[in-house]
């Protein structure tokens, strides 16, 4: 039997839980920069992105899920040289993204999805001065506590620079790109 002292999904309970999650992210998280991808040229047959740009970077607090460092295979030596294959799992607030970042990017042209983080966008992680690409966005974890979802879990891999134009006007990010790219 469910607890009779809770309504199991009232707006007050949901708001309280969202506020607690937001506070925890501010206390235990790290400030990262979210960089949405602008699709400049796409192949119309297979919807392949040919040219993209990253011109904006928005700070948002994120919790690093792995407490023991980066995941993935680490730095390996392959036939293509030394490769860094780090990955990172971050948790961000759904409410914070929808109330802060969505209004800023919804009117920018060539951004296809502005209501949630999307695969292909970039995250600048300042603790390691690394840029990660979002590979998967889990939006149902934890699964419907009090009949609502409160966070996005971003599974990211180290960004491999190609022909993308990255110019955010934030010196720390642009310096990493100049050194790396």
CB 143 within 8 A of CB 27: no
Is the whole-model pTM more than 0.75?
Answer: yes
pLDDT in the model for residue 68: 64
The total of other beta-carbon atoms located within 10 Å of residue 65's CB is: 13
> Is the pLDDT reported for residue 171 higher than 60?
yes
Choose between 177 and 120: higher pLDDT: 120
Structure tokens at 172: 């720390």
pLDDT in the model for residue 70: 66
> Is the pLDDT reported for residue 14 higher than 90?
no
> Is the pLDDT reported for residue 40 higher than 90?
no
Distance between CA 151 and CA 142 in Å, rounded? 8
pLDDT band at 133 (very low <50, low <70, confident <90, very high): very high
Dihedral sign, Cα of residue 64, residue 153, residue 32, residue 134 = positive
pLDDT in the model for residue 108: 86
Kindly report each contact of residues 12-16 with a partner whose C-beta sits within 8 Å and lies 24 or more positions away, as own/partner.
13/146, 14/146, 14/147, 14/148
pLDDT band at 142 (very low <50, low <70, confident <90, very high): confident
pLDDT in the model for residue 19: 92
């Amino acid at each position: 039997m469910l607890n009779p002292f809770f309504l199991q999904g009232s707006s007050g309970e949901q708001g309280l839980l969202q506020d607690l999650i937001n506070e925890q992210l501010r206390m235990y998280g790290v400030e990262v920069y979210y960089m949405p991808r602008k699709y400049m040229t796409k192949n119309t047959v297979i919807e392949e992105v040919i040219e993209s740009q990253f011109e904006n970077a928005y700070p948002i607090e994120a919790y690093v899920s792995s407490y023991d460092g980066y995941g993935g295979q680490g730095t390996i030596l392959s036939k293509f040289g030394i490769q860094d294959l780090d990955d990172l799992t971050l948790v961000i607030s759904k409410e914070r993204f929808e109330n802060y970042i969505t209004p800023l990017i919804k009117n920018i042209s060539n951004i296809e999805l502005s209501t949630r983080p999307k695969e292909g966008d970039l995250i600048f992680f300042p603790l390691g001065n690394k840029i990660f690409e979002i590979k998967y966005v889990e939006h149902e974890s934890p699964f419907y506590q009090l009949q609502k979802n409160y966070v996005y879990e971003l599974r990211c891999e180290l960004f491999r620079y190609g022909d993308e134009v990255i110019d955010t006007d934030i010196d720390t990010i642009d310096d990493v790109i100049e050194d790396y790219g």
